[in-house]
Amino acid sequence: MLARREAEEFQRREQQGLGKPIISSEFHEHRVVAVGGTVHFSKKWKTFHDFLNDYPKIVLGKDWWMAEVAKPPEARHRILTWAFRSYEHFKAHVMTVAV
């Protein structure tokens, strides 16, 4: 049993790195994710990656996010640049595979 647990931990570190383990599960059609001492949940998050896409908006606040979106691209905070690039990558690669 110890060898199995060590193998699982090795695999987790290979996939997630040396940080704390990801705490994410499904409960009554909701994705539930724990970050620090806070539990987040949503029906629209089907995977942990869906949560990651929304997390900056949660942390920074919807008002701040929308104010940044309203700016021209070159004036936006770098976080939005990364978010938009991530979304474009998703549209180009993931959505085409799912169809």
Quote the pLDDT of residue 11: 93
> Domain containing 36: what range?
1-46
For 7-18, how does the pLDDT look when each residue is reduced to its tens digit (9 = 90+)? 999 998 999 898
In the chain, the number of structural domains is 2
Question: On the CB side of 37, how many CA atoms lie within 13 Å of its CA?
Answer: 0
- Residue 16 in any domain: the answer is yes
Between CA 72 and CA 59 the distance in angstroms is 22
For 49-95, how does the pLDDT look when each residue is reduced to its tens digit (9 = 90+)? 899 989 999 999 999 999 999 999 999 999 999 999 988 888 888 76
- Residue 54 in any domain: the answer is no
Are 45 and 54 a contacting pair, CB within 8 Å?
yes
